[in-house]
Amino acid sequence: MPPRRLGATLAATVTTVAAVLSAAPAAHADSLEYVALGDSYSAASGVQPSDPDASPLCLRSSLNYPHVIAAETGASLTDVTCGAAETRHFTAAQYPGVPPQVDALGADTDVVTMTIGGNDSGVFISAILACGSAGILALGQGSPCHDIYGSYFEDTIRDTTYPALVSALEAVRDKAPAADVAILGYPWILPATTGCFDKMPVADGDVPYLRGLQATLNDAVGRAAEATGVTYVDMSEASEGHDACQAPDVRWIEPVLQGSNPVVVHPNAQGEAAMAGEAMDALGLS
């Protein structure tokens, strides 16, 4: 090859390599800055493998729906989800070394997702466990939980959990004003009417009672989202027929007994993947 042509070829090669190298940081800079907040339904507590970057106290899985979303979209993920989190842990430390969740947010945050509210005031998961205990004592008959608690749980959600949700979402908005924020509803835990005693040790008459309680919680989540301009990801339709009473290859929620998750009444990997899909669709990330 003549020297002049060889020089031109080398110059072109150097220019191409330089362009590739300079483009790599730009591509990284353009990736979505995604922050995942929330409780055990967002952390996928009990699903293996565990997230090595998480505090052991948070029981966070590397297969939780935020990790699925990040893998599907190429987003840069900051995951601060933590099992047992309440709305107050958005602005206050949950454990030593586990700071307030909104500390992970900033002006450059592009996307935020979460589930939150189910642990507030001991409702939802605590109610299901309380009703399970009552169901066992009643051998699955009657409606002992409804008889004991009546409207207590639903009243607490409307009077206490709802305003706490609004405050939590406002705190997220204040810290990440430019972000697309989504809060997911909780997937159905029980069928609408007929349960599955003893996999879910809830008395027959308390199945619709607990289903109504979950509907009340999801309604509060949706209303809080509307009040603060946040996207509500309604899991009700998608999760119908995937409750804890279904077969292992169908259910998204693991039951109290005969399940695969040591953290009972929580999503399995299938459920987390489904939550990721619904969240991506709602945020236009699919």
Q: Is residue 130 within 8 Å of 201, Cβ to Cβ?
A: no
92-133: pLDDT as tens digits: 999 999 999 999 999 999 999 999 999 999 887 778 778 888
* pLDDT at 209 > cutoff 70: yes
Which residues belong to the active site? 40, 266
Q: Give the pLDDT of residue 235.
A: 98
Mean pLDDT of the chain: 90
Q: Give the pLDDT of residue 141.
A: 86
Number of Cβ within a 10 Å radius of residue 125: 20
152-178: pLDDT as tens digits: 999 999 999 999 999 999 999 999 999
Q: Give the pLDDT of residue 262.
A: 92
Q: Collapsing DSSP states into helix, strand and coil, what is residue 187?
A: coil
Q: Collapsing DSSP states into helix, strand and coil, what is residue 270?
A: helix
- Domain spans of the chain, in order of start: 1-30, 33-283
How would CATH label the architecture of 33-283?
Answer: 3-Layer(aba) Sandwich (3.40)
| Mean pLDDT within 244-266 | 95
**pTM greater than 0.85:** yes
Q: In angstroms, rounded to a whole number, what is the distance separating the alpha carbons of residues 76 and 34?
A: 6
Q: In angstroms, rounded to a whole number, what is the distance separating the alpha carbons of residues 22 and 76?
A: 19
Triad 252, 183, 247: Cα angle to 5°: 5
